[in-house]
A and B are shown apart, each in its own frame.
Chain A
Amino acid sequence: MRPFAFQRPDSLAHAHELTVPEDATAVAGGTNLLDLMKLQVETPERLVDINRLGMTEIQETADGGLRIGALATNTATANDDRVRADYPVLARAILAGATQQLRNRATTGGNLCQRTRCYYFTNIDQPCNKREPGSGCGAIDGIAHLHAVLGTSPSCIATYPGDMAVALSALDATVEIASPDSDERSVPVRDFHLLPGDTPCRDNVLERGEIITAVTLPRPVKAKHLYRKVRERSSYAFALVSVAAIVAVEDGVIARADLAFGGLAHKPWHDARLSELLVGEAPSAALFDKAGDLLLEGARGYGENDFKIPLARRTLAAVMAEATETEI
């Protein structure tokens, strides 16, 4: 690890001031950042520990939703009784990720901002446009097993690796952000992560010095919540494909189908056309197949990850079949 100065601000204002300069990075649980600092993928000259800013509470909001502090641990969130009862897709997604030891440290904000697990990104001897703009992409034409099939660019085909944010996307949660120059801004989770485009070095919309303060969930809805994570072993592995689903059936037709997908893109993938297609229709294998067509329209494999296209289609169908109690 490169030498760095360590700072522990007590106020948000001070944290902004310390993290605006290019050479500073905020640390919360440290489970992603310190790992990358050991690999010299991240080399901040100043590390700003934000753990003294509070922001650990999980509180009900005025309109019946839930506000989860940026420094609430993943364990605290997944075991909050309101999350378990009203937003089980979120509890399930968190519990399907990492391990208990990691979840005990990992935070809401850090989890949202976790970086890709692309092997070229984490190896400083390899080309990577995300780590070093202009150096090329090792994964296109290389080892691309974990990589994206939707929303890729000629610069980068990395995936956003997390689980929690996939559930947050299905729930249409909002990220609360404190900015150095203004007050708070709110960004829907669905717009928080970016596609790689020409600037894969940017994972999300955060500007320098901005700090996530919380994630807000809308009022709960009566529906079935499912999180299905397909991975290479049944615990402690990143998703190849995951599906978060909030689905309701009324009088034999689908009344709600909020879906988001992990492992497919540089962000949790949400396609509003899917619920438009599904809602109002009777559940059937043929309908789920059409949803698969729509989801994967424009999908492109890069050799090693070609399997993700049929896998995503089948996982979508399996989750919809379970949620609607339909035989497929």
Chain B
Amino acid sequence: MSKTITVNGTERPIPSDPRVSLLDFLRENEGLTGTKKGCDHGQCGACTVIVNGMRINSCLTLAAMHDGDSVTTIEGLGTPTSPSPLQVAFVEHDGFQCGYCTPGQICSATAMLDEIAAGFASDASEDLLGEMQASPEEIRERMSGNLCRCGAYANIVTAIREIAQGDA
């Protein structure tokens, strides 16, 4: 029985060496270098991808643990000719400088907006059971797993806010 992961809609074989992280699988085996390796220890968020609808750190999981799962990377969210709304907003609001953290930021923000819509609470939510808002405080807390060494945070929040308000 061959083991596969669906990557941006296409079924791909899982490498035979179980040590391969999901991150290395995407970058080295699949050539999808949009997903970045910052720390390789779950501390920076540059490797964030969306697995079965949930954002995770692809560096702290093995490809072999994802048999049958569906992964979306930055390449699967949009293309230069057909960017996603968040990709457009990041460009418009200068939501980056060097761009290294950006794919992780955008994958993270994409899933975060779904989490807010689904009513997931955060440490910044005053009422755990209330309606969740994409306020600047909420965005900052919910995006705290994505570090930006260039410090583009203010513009990242602005870009995400624009899309969150458009959605509302």
Contact = CB atoms under 8 A, between A and B. Distances in A.
Interface of A: 1, 3-6, 27, 29-31, 34-35, 38, 47, 49, 51, 75, 78-79, 81, 84-85, 88, 91-92, 95-96, 98-102, 104-105, 235-236
Contact of B40 (A3, A38, A84, A105): A38
A110 B128 CA distance: 24
Give the 7 A-B CB pairs with smallest separation, nearest first. Answer: A99-B145, A6-B18, A235-B144, A84-B128, A236-B144, A104-B54, A95-B123
Given A84-B128, A98-B145, 14 more contacts: A4-B18, A4-B19, A30-B61, A30-B65, A31-B57, A34-B60, A34-B62, A38-B41, A78-B121, A79-B119, A100-B120, A101-B48, A101-B57, A102-B42
B18 A104 contact: no
Contacts of B62: 6, 30, 34
Contacts of A84: 121, 128-129
A47 B19 CA distance: 10
A105 B61 CA distance: 9
A91 B61 contact: no
Nearest to A7: B18
B55 interface: yes
28 contacts: A3-B19, A4-B18, A4-B19, A5-B18, A6-B18, A6-B62, A27-B65, A29-B61, A31-B42, A34-B21, A35-B60, A49-B65, A78-B121, A84-B129, A85-B129, A88-B128, A91-B121, A91-B128, A95-B123, A96-B123, A100-B108, A100-B111, A100-B120, A100-B142, A101-B55, A104-B55, A105-B56, A236-B144
A3 B62 CA distance: 13
User: Which interface residue of A5, A29, A101 has the most chain B CB atoms within 10 A?
Assistant: A101
User: Which interface residue of A29, A30, A102, A104 has the most chain B CB atoms within 10 A?
Assistant: A104
Interface residues of B, number: 34
B64 interface: yes
Interface in B9-64: 18-19, 21, 40-42, 45, 48, 54-57, 60-62, 64
Contact of B144 (A4, A5, A38, A99): A99
B123 A235 contact: yes
B115 interface: yes
A35 B44 CA distance: 13
Contacts of B21: 34
B140 interface: yes
User: Which interface residue of B64, B111, B128 has the most chain A CB atoms within 10 A?
Assistant: B128
Nearest to B118: A79
B10 to A, nearest CB: 23
A100 B145 contact: yes
A81 B118 CA distance: 12
B122 A101 contact: no
